[in-house]
Structure 1
Amino acid sequence: MTAVDSHASVTGQTPVGATLRDVIAAYVGLTKPRVIELLLLTTVPVMFFAAQGVPSLGLVVATVLGGTLSAGSANALNCVYDRDIDEQMRRTRRRALPRHIVSPRAAFVFGIVLAIVSTLVLGLWVNWLSAGLALAASAFYLFVYTMVLKRRTTQNIVWGGLAGCFPALIGWTAVTNGLAWAPVVLFLVVFFWTPPHTWALAMRYRDDYAAVDVPMLPVLRSGEAVARQIVAYSWVMVAVSLALWPIAGTGVFYPIAAVVLGATFLVEAHLMWARSRTSDDLSVIKPMRLFHWSNLYLSLLFVAVALDPLLSR
């Protein structure tokens, strides 16, 4: 860190040399756009499913805008709380706060403003049930996962991941202004998907987590033990995904897609487990292969959720 950067971190001023473009990019980065993209992929398809067709464009736009602002708020406040460990980890040290482009105070105000605006957008333009669910998800992510679970237990991402499941509920309530079993099933799909997805990434960066004493499962368990857990969660995830068929009375397209996607996911999980039994070397285990597939799996599964009512007419 340069002397200028060190001074900026104390005073909260933008470091000399940072352009307006740098500052704007830093604020956008605080919201973690890639995470938001994944959350929206579990919101919009559920809206199609709830509407049993194409929902109102205005409703979709309002829900996406409110959901983006809500998730961005939670992510920004998470960056404020975790700035000490973010500065030490390779994966996160290029974020805005570790680089001192944005001060912690400014990032905190930014997060709070996003939370207020997102609640008003969802409440006034969608409905207050959706607004309440979004606010609850953000509060859970910040107060339960970030402040309590993340640095204390290997089960941090299992229960902390509940926050990332709420978009499935919000997509449904945005259209129906009520809850039902179908979005609960999709909520549970995301819940059981989160550990395999996150543990695969954590295996890749386990040295980073170990250096900052964050007890992610791959830090405290062998690659084989983590892979075995991933396989177990993957089987439950696929089983839950298939439950949507009888519970929601889908057409035949969804269960076919769920079987094909689920079988492929299970093959990848079992292959990673098999590799981990021969070596604990990450170049052998290849956890990022499962991580990238997990993103594709969830995206395609929810696309199938959106397409099923359109193809079943």
Structure 2
Amino acid sequence: MRTGHRPSGHGFGSPGGASASESNTARDTSTLRGRVASTILAYVALTKPRVIELLLVATIPAMLLADRGHIDLVLILSTLFGGWMGAASANALNCVADADIDKVMKRTALRPLARQAVPTRNAFVFGITLGVASFLWLWWRANLLAGLLVVLTIAFYVLFYTMVLKRRTWQNVIWGGAAGCMPVMVGWAAVTGSLSWEPLVLFLVIFFWTPPHTWALAMRYKEDYKAAGVPMLPVIASEQHVTKQIVLYTWATVLATLALVPAAGWIYAVVTLLAGAWFLFVAHQLHNGVRRGASVKPLKLFLQSNNYLAIVCCGLAVDSILGWATISSYF
């Protein structure tokens, strides 16, 4: 005789109920992790890590040249970390100031503030915090001069270049590029506590290198800059004029690298001569192609400029580590 039956369903303790609950928890955990990871990546993107890599590459040979024949690995790593925070601060604050035009340009439309992945206020606080941390770190681990140079760099890049020059004159990258030259000064100051003619020459190398590097990229994304109202040289001038300027600044870059030869050895002299000839060849090739009306690829020069700076910096680093007799000692 059946007096009743056990009700089915998914009540507490039933296999079905436990499975559904665990599934929801797992899904929520996965979603939370995804949001956290996405947020972290957005803040990392604010710092423009690929740009920072290029800047820090120049810091190492400057430090090695300042302490020729010796390697203070702890000081180098400490300075790179402080320099990274300083560059990250400048880039994050640049993103805050340029959020409106980043939304318009296809090349920058995926930046965190352009797609509202990070609140503007948070990005501003993030940038300021990194800047303060950079100054304090370099003051502690190196010296006050290195810390002050980082503060000067951040202020120059954000206030002078981003907020004054960038949207008002085609010379924006010429003078604004000075901020990108400062890592060599910071590196030298971190080692010596002072400045001299060698870091000034390295400063000029990057100063002259920046326009052809940037204008080659701007030639490729000319319509983006035009839509955003940024008067980059390729936007307001003919391609022939732009490539002529690229050739002139490329020559200035190569000559600046040669000016450092007396303070270095034969390794640097050979490397910079060969790399310079290659850089000049590509620049002249671009200009001649434009003059003939041929189809050109300005991005080839952009990539070549990256390779050139990396090769010259590596040559100087190896030369400084070995510490062989300098060219000037033979005369």
CA contact (8 A) 1:18 1:101 kept: no
Aligned to 1:254: 268
Query: Structure 1 residue 18: deviation in Å?
Result: 6.9
The runs of at least 4 aligned residues of structure 1 exceeding 6 Å deviation read none
TM-score computed with the length of structure 1 as normaliser: 0.91
Q: Are residues 1:310 and 2:321 paired?
A: yes
Matches within 5 A, 1:20-31: 20-31=36-47
Letter in 2 for 1:257: V
Matches within 5 A, 1:50-89: 50-89=66-105
The match for 1:276 among 290, 295, 298 is 290
Query: Structure 1 residue 154: deviation in Å?
Result: 0.5
Identity of aligned residues (%): 51
The match for 1:293 among 288, 293, 304 is 304
Between the two proteins, the alignment pairs up a number of residues equal to 293
Q: Unpaired runs of 5+ in structure 2?
A: 1-31, 325-331
Query: Structure 1 residue 17: deviation in Å?
Result: 11
CA contact (8 A) 2:69 2:323 kept: no
TM-score computed with the length of structure 2 as normaliser: 0.86
Computed over aligned residues only, the root mean square deviation of the Cα atoms, in angstroms, reads: 1.4
- Report the Cα distance in structure 2 between the residues aligned to 1:190 and 1:111, rounded to whole angstroms: 24
CA contact (8 A) 1:253 1:311 kept: no
Aligned to 2:329: none
Query: Structure 1 residue 190: deviation in Å?
Result: 0.3
Q: Unpaired runs of 5+ in structure 1?
A: 1-15
CA contact (8 A) 1:73 1:111 kept: yes
Pick the structure with greater CA Rg.
Answer: 2
- Report the Cα distance in structure 1 between the residues aligned to 2:105 and 2:97, rounded to whole angstroms: 15
CA contact (8 A) 2:149 2:182 kept: yes
Query: Structure 1 residue 312: deviation in Å?
Result: 4.4
CA contact (8 A) 1:49 1:306 kept: yes
- Report the Cα distance in structure 1 between the residues aligned to 2:138 and 2:314, rounded to whole angstroms: 23
CA contact (8 A) 1:55 1:175 kept: no
- Report the Cα distance in structure 2 between the residues aligned to 1:138 and 1:157, rounded to whole angstroms: 16
Letter in 2 for 1:63: T
Letter in 1 for 2:268: Y
Q: Are residues 1:165 and 2:181 paired?
A: yes
CA contact (8 A) 2:71 2:321 kept: no
Query: Structure 1 residue 278: deviation in Å?
Result: 2.4
Q: Are residues 1:177 and 2:193 paired?
A: yes
Letter in 2 for 1:177: G
Deviations 1:53-110 (A, max 9, x none): 3432211111011000000000000000100000110110001001111011000000
Deviations 1:137-167 (A, max 9, x none): 1110001100000000000000000000001
